[in-house]
């Protein structure tokens, strides 16, 4: 079997904050706070595994259905993370991008996102994408709308193809997703990166997100490296081999 290279782009569904807190008799918000620490550890560890781009799921379009106090805590955490971690991102050459819809977010969160993206836009060492108020279906619909607008303004003449369509997704320009990790034992996409997941490998880990860090990421990358990726083709050495 051919050895698979390092994953360039890893995407993580950070799940299990609530269960982590419940197991300790703590309120769910404590799990989310610990989850931010796990995120910082994981972002720091990622380049050590050859990862160039990390996309994390922070808040889904479906997460608005949670109790208002929890939603408000999650808004507070993103506010804090995108302000307090900017210096480190700057130092380490991290470019930050937020995927998803801006509409519906509190005005100050929108402003913080715009500022953080602008301040790190020139960084080239590492791309960190935070999916926040993100849903894969909504993102695909937004891309379709953008294409229709371009078409109406006479901006595009060529026939629509995959590359042109993908320009309208909020992840446009990022490398293809190689590996999708979901923590906490759940095995579903929950509307994450529907288009981008087309040829990603999936690794499901039982670790609850607040316990995540370099060791768990290393295990996921090792599992990925043992996978054989065929992209619909056949291994070169199997082409001539008899049955
Ligand atoms: C993931 O943890 C974080 C977000 C969805 C924001 P959960 O809050 O989903 O934790 P569980 O699944 O209830 O344990
Ligand atoms: C997906 O997790 C969203 C994020 C990790 C931000 P959920 O915990 O919200 O997903 P479900 O409800 O288990 O599908
Ligand atoms: Mg969950």
Per-residue pLDDT tens digits of the chain, which is 243 residues long: 445 789 999 999 999 999 999 999 999 999 999 999 999 999 999 999 999 999 999 999 999 999 999 999 999 999 999 999 899 999 999 999 999 999 999 999 999 999 999 999 999 999 999 999 999 999 999 999 999 998 888 887 668 899 999 999 999 999 999 999 999 999 999 999 999 999 999 999 999 999 999 999 999 999 999 999 999 998 766 776 665
Helix (H, G, I), strand (E, B) or coil at 243: coil
Q: Does residue 160 form part of some domain?
A: no
Q: Does residue 164 form part of some domain?
A: no
Instruction: Output the pLDDT for position 95.
Output: 98
Q: Is 17 a catalytic residue?
A: no
Q: Does residue 114 form part of some domain?
A: yes
- Ligand 1 binding pocket includes 167 (Cβ within 6 Å): no
Mutate to test the pocket of ligand 2, among 15, 185, 186 (most ligand atoms within 8 A of CB): 15
Q: Is 63 a catalytic residue?
A: yes
Phi-psi region of 24 (alpha: psi -120 to 50; beta: other; left: phi over 0): alpha
- Ligand 1 binding pocket includes 59 (Cβ within 6 Å): yes
Total domains in the chain come to 1
pTM of the model: 0.95
- Ligand 2 binding pocket includes 57 (Cβ within 6 Å): yes
What is the number of the ligand closest to the CA of 182?
2
What is the number of the ligand closest to the CA of 21?
1
- Ligand 2 binding pocket includes 186 (Cβ within 6 Å): yes
User: What spacing in Å lies between the alpha carbon of 28 and ligand 2's midpoint?
Assistant: 14
Q: Does residue 56 form part of some domain?
A: yes
Q: Does residue 156 form part of some domain?
A: no
Phi, psi of 157 (to 5 degrees): -115, -30
Instruction: Output the pLDDT for position 1.
Output: 44
Instruction: Output the pLDDT for position 17.
Output: 98
Q: Does residue 42 form part of some domain?
A: yes
Q: Does residue 19 form part of some domain?
A: yes
User: What spacing in Å lies between the alpha carbon of 184 and ligand 1's midpoint?
Assistant: 9
Q: Which of ligand 2's atoms lies nearest the C-alpha of 13?
A: 5
Range of the domain at 81: 9-135+175-242
**Read out DSSP for 50-69?**
T--EEEEEEEETTGGGS-HH
- Which residue's CA is the nearest one to ligand 2's atom 11? 190
User: What spacing in Å lies between the alpha carbon of 73 and ligand 3's midpoint?
Assistant: 15
Q: Which of 63, 123, 191, 211 is catalytic?
A: 63
User: What spacing in Å lies between the alpha carbon of 213 and ligand 1's midpoint?
Assistant: 17
b/e 23-59 (16+ beta carbons within 10 angstroms → b): eeeeebbbbbbbbbebbebbbebbeebebbbbbbbbb
Q: Does residue 143 form part of some domain?
A: no
Instruction: Output the pLDDT for position 238.
Output: 74
User: What spacing in Å lies between the alpha carbon of 201 and ligand 3's midpoint?
Assistant: 21
Residue 204 maps to which CATH number?
A: 3.40.1180.10
């Amino acid at each position: 079997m051919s050895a698979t290279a390092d994953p360039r782009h890893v995407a993580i569904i950070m799940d299990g904050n609530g269960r982590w807190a419940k197991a300790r008799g703590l309120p769910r918000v404590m799990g989310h706070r610990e989850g931010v620490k796990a995120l910082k550890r994981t972002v720091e560890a990622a380049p050590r595994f050859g990862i160039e781009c990390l996309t994390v799921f922070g808040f889904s379009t479906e997460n608005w259905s949670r109790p208002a106090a929890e939603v408000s805590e999650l808004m507070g955490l993103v506010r804090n993370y995108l302000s307090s971690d900017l210096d480190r991102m700057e130092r380490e050459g991290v470019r930050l991008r937020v995927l998803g819809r801006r509409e519906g977010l509190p005005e100050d969160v929108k402003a913080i996102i715009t500022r953080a993206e602008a301040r790190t836009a020139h960084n080239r060492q590492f791309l960190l994408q935070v999916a926040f108020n993100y849903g894969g279906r909504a993102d695909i619909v937004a891309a379709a709308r953008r294409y229709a607008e371009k078409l109406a303004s006479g901006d595009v003449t060529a026939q629509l193809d995959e590359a042109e369509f993908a320009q309208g997704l909020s992840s446009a320009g990022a490398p293809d997703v190689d590996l999708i990790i979901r923590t906490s034992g759940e095995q579903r996409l929950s509307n994450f990166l529907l288009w981008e997941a087309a040829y990603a490998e999936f690794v499901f880990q039982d670790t609850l997100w607040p316990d995540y860090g370099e060791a768990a990421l290393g295990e996921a990358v090792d599992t990925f490296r043992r996978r054989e990726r065929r992209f619909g083709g056949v291994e070169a050495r199997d082409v001539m081999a008899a049955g």
